[in-house]
Amino acid sequence: MPIRLCLERACPNPAAVRGRCVEHATEARKQNRSVNDAFYSSKAWKMSRRKQLHDHPRCQYRLGDGIECGVVADSVHHIVELTEGGAPRDPANLLSTCRPHHSVIHAQRRGGRVGS
């Protein structure tokens, strides 16, 4: 199999991650970071997330008839987003959700459809 080179102009290194060498892939990741990345990788958030999922292990997303989804939750959603001044680790601002319903919530906020 031929060796693929990095997509960056004039870089002679072999591609490792998404068509870029390790050095350029790292730089691309740094440029694409969210302003909240540091928060979401903090120990304090991981502990709050773990506690939320322990206290509410089932998806709390309310379906059209007002009944909770009830599938095992694997995500924690901020009801009031951090960028809007929501409390980062306050249990009153957290909602345990399954991944599909977490995507639905964010798609509705963007005014679009899931996966669009």
Which tens digit of pLDDT belongs to each residue from 45-80? 999 999 999 999 999 999 988 899 999 999 999 999
Domain boundaries, the chain: 1-32, 37-110
Nearest-CA neighbor of 48 among 100, 85, 93, 3?
A: 93
**pLDDT score of 116 more than 60:** no
pLDDT of residue 1: 65
Lowest mean pLDDT among 24-28, 54-58, 60-64, 112-116: 112-116
CA distance 97 to 17: 31
Q: Which of 25-34, 49-58, 84-93, 95-104 has the lowest mean pLDDT?
A: 25-34
